[in-house]
Chain A
Amino acid sequence: MEFGPIWRASLRNKTGPILMALQIALTLAVIVNAVFIIKQRIDKITRPTGMDVDNIVTVQSFGFGEDFNLQESVPQDLAELEAIPGVLAVTSSQHVPLSGSGWGTELAGSSEDGAPRVNGAQYFVNADAVNAFGVKLESGRAFTAEDVEYPESFGVPISQVIMTRAYLDALFPEGGAQAGATVYDKLGNPVTVIGVLDTMHGAWVGWDELENVMLVPRVMPVESNYYIVRAEPGERDRVMPQVEQTLLATNDRRVVKSLRTHSEIRDSSYQGDRGMAVVLAVVVSLMVMVTGVGIVGLASFAVRQRIKQIGTRRAVGARRQDILRYFMVENWMITTAGVMLGSVLTIAVNYWMVASFELERLDPLYVPAGVLALWLLGLLGVAGPARKASAISPAIATRTV
């Protein structure tokens, strides 16, 4: 291949190629980093929550007045809600997982002073909670009606919980802890882990300890709570309005609000991540488009400038495919110079983002993938103008201008 002559020829008019190479370098830096961020956000949004999010409806009950008593209201509400046809299971909970509101606490794996404490989210729930959230019990047992407590104050220590495998392993880093293990609350009271959940997400989707969750069987002496209503598959939307009507009919000393599907709550918690991914995807596509148009434009210009030379070459024996190859190779060399510079720039941009913001270091495999994509873009862009160039008639060499 005639790399040498092509290279030297393009150096004779280097502004265009330099501009193109710079543009390709920047494009590579942006799309590689953007696609990496998009991939991370998609992974974050689609992690399994452990819950049957798609079939759950949640609603808040907010009691008021001296004569409202949540602890009396809950058992009655549960009975009424469970009676709705199409409802699979119901539990009360002081907050809704994935909603961004919650109640965090700390536990320790030993009662010794200075034992490391681990943060987690706790949910005060009823007997049927495992079913209502649709979480999978890995070992141990679910709650029974006898487990549920109605304490008179916040201070009554908890005695038994169900917690996630992630939380249990964080409390016992040496591993192997099973249902039946004893953990300790902030005041050193022992708490028995009666069941272990496969996975369940807690309150704050941006939190590192999202998977540290425990369920506590009790109804707190407060005014407000949520109901988690799990419908049979396909029944959710039919059940939804009945949930609100049922609660309003059961007790009028309260406001019933925030009737929402659990998937809606999850989506709104991930709104920022989803939005970022979409915006970046749009910018990446526009950038590929603009760069593609730029490549076509530059190649057409290069062809137009050399019509006479192309005709001469054809006249002295160059075949059509030689002309085609000339422009393909020239463009490939420009793209290659661009992606080489671009690879360095990509790493630099990523370094800056890691240093300035809480972003992860780029997976190095993304760089060659981006390089391949731009090579392809370059060849696609030049194909049209190069084909036109190869169609130039040798006779053009014989005409003056």
Chain B
Amino acid sequence: MFRYYLKLASRSLFAAPATTSLMVATIALGIGIFMAAVTIYYLMANNPIPHKSDVLYAVQLDSWDPAQAYREDLPEQAPWELTYIDAMALRESDIPRRQAAMHKVSLVVQPTRVDLKPFQAQARLTDGDFFALFDIPFVYGAAWSRDADDAGQLLVVISKSRNDELFGGEDSTGRTLRINDREFTVVGVSEDWYPVPKYYDVNNGAFDEPEQMFIPSGVGRELELFSSGNTNCWKDEDINSFEEFLGAECVWWQYWVELPSEVERDAYQAFIDGYVEEQKELGRFARPLNNRITAVEQWLEVRQVVRDDNKVLIGIAFLFLVVCLFNIVGLMLTKFLGKAPQIGIRRALGASRGAVFRQQLIEVGALGAAGGLAGLGFAWLALKGIQQLFPGFEHLARLDLTMVGIAIASAVVTTVIAGLYPAWRVCRVPPGAYLRLQ
């Protein structure tokens, strides 16, 4: 029966190609625009590390100005980053399974290959645990040790792409790399890693490319490296040297910990609260106690990684889809009622109301499926357009299989919902009405 209904549906759809294409195009437009908006939203709101997102926490301590909150629009929040003093103090705790203090730095790389000019590059200054903390595998070598962090040894881990560029892709561990006019030793080559969003540091663009080089946290003291990310200071301090800057009430370090269970979580919260209480005795941390440890997904929400504009666009795209659906209901009503004589005859020949209803819904479903497929085309076009408008967002504007599935499924579902009323109307055609006229 299903195949017979499909045949009827295709006959009916091909009988009026203009109306059919208009309906398919309308569904396709609505679904295409909506899917494009949803795709971007879905990638922005992506969980970048699903298997660990509930054990990785960003640490915040409220070391800010007693006179005003860090963000006046978010008074309950603590600063996004930590001071150098606090980041170093937190490293003494052994509660987290893994932990890393970090910030972004600008370095100048002087390649030994004569065909490459010196270039400036962003790097991450961090602890050796960084790689295990965020699950970044190594191609060659391994991370540096805690001692290397403390001593500020001139070691570097480079990404696979950078290794291809600088060392032609061979195992470069043990080789030297000249950075900022100093000799660094390559200890490892990490796999290319591109988390979307760049959750471990969302400060200067949550969808930027991650750094391709990593150096031990102590190197900053050695080479007097400032952060190339955000540095915010509130206190009126006379800062005349790098040494004084390290001691200042300026926040510029991010801090991540891995706390495997509730127990460690509570212990760690108690630890940071205890630390801040101690510091209060010393005259720091004049604000009320407000220390936060926030898991990845909540962190991305707090940091408003998904922009308001994207939410507005989803809303508007949804309303556009609804308008398209209203339009289709109108078109289907016209079409189905046009078929009333034919339906009347089928009913008179013994087709039940249910059978007529089912048959119409199958026709509607076929329309929806065609609309969904064509909608994918529109979505693809829309995403291409968005890539043109937002260079640098290429990786946010692509269709994956999930989205293809969702697009077709939602096209069929919404079209069938839109078709319910017209199908119901047409199956109530009285069997005799059209016979008499003949």
Q: Which residues of A contact B (CB under 8 A)?
A: 15-16, 19-20, 22-23, 26-27, 29-30, 33-34, 37, 60, 62, 64-66, 153-155, 186-188, 224, 255, 257, 268, 271-272, 274-276, 278-280, 282-283, 286-287, 290-291, 293-294, 297-298, 301, 349, 353, 356-359, 401
Contacts and interface: CB of A to CB of B under 8 A. Distances in A.
A62 B106 contact: yes
Contact of B181 (A33, A66, A272): A66
Interface string B313-331: 1011101101110110111
Interface string B16-36: 000000100010011001000
Per DSSP, chain B at the interface is helix
Given A64-B118, A293-B22, 20 more contacts: A16-B330, A26-B319, A30-B323, A65-B180, A155-B238, A155-B239, A224-B106, A255-B108, A257-B120, A271-B389, A272-B390, A287-B320, A290-B29, A290-B30, A291-B323, A293-B327, A297-B334, A353-B315, A356-B308, A358-B308
Given A286-B320, A401-B437, A297 B330 contact: yes
**Which of B180, B327, B390, B425 has its CB near the most chain A CB atoms (within 10 A)?**
B327
Nearest to B179: A64
B281 interface: no
A289 to B, nearest CB: 9
Contacts of A291: 323, 327
B330 A255 contact: no
A316 B321 CA distance: 45
A27 B30 CA distance: 13
A33 B307 CA distance: 18
Given A64-B180, A65-B180, A153 B241 contact: yes
B236 interface: yes
A297 B106 contact: no
Given A29-B319, A290-B29, A279 B313 contact: yes
B355 interface: no
A61 to B, nearest CB: 10
Given A26-B322, A257-B120, A358-B308, A283 B316 contact: yes
B340 to A, nearest CB: 11
B389 A279 contact: yes
Contacts of A30: 316, 319-320, 323
B326 A26 contact: yes
**Which of B30, B324, B330 has its CB near the most chain A CB atoms (within 10 A)?**
B330
Nearest to A151: B240
B119 interface: yes
B391 interface: yes
B420 interface: no
A64 B108 contact: yes
B333 interface: yes
Contact of A187 (B118, B180, B238, B245): B238
B142 interface: no
B291 to A, nearest CB: 26
Nearest to B30: A290
A345 B389 CA distance: 30
Contacts of B239: 154-155
Interface string B296-315: 00000000000111011101
Contacts of A287: 320, 323
Given A255-B108, A294-B330, A34 B316 contact: yes
B217 interface: no
B110 interface: yes
Interface string B95-112: 000000000001010100
**Which of A154, A224, A279, A298 has its CB near the most chain B CB atoms (within 10 A)?**
A279
A365 B214 CA distance: 56
A133 to B, nearest CB: 24
B311 A357 contact: yes
A19 B238 contact: no
B103 to A, nearest CB: 15
Given A187-B238, A290-B26, A356-B311, A23 B319 contact: no
B328 to A, nearest CB: 9
Nearest to A68: B181
Nearest to B181: A65
- Nearest first, the 3 closest Cβ-Cβ pairs linking A and B are A65-B181, A155-B240, A64-B108
Given A26-B319, A297-B330, A37 B181 contact: no
B323 A153 contact: no
A22 B390 CA distance: 34
B386 interface: yes
B309 A64 contact: no
Nearest to B180: A64
A268 B313 CA distance: 20
Nearest to A248: B117
B232 to A, nearest CB: 9
A62 B108 contact: yes
Contacts of B313: 276, 279-280
23 contacts: A15-B421, A16-B333, A22-B326, A23-B330, A26-B319, A34-B316, A64-B181, A153-B241, A186-B236, A255-B119, A272-B309, A275-B386, A278-B389, A280-B313, A286-B33, A286-B320, A287-B320, A290-B26, A290-B323, A294-B327, A353-B312, A353-B315, A356-B311
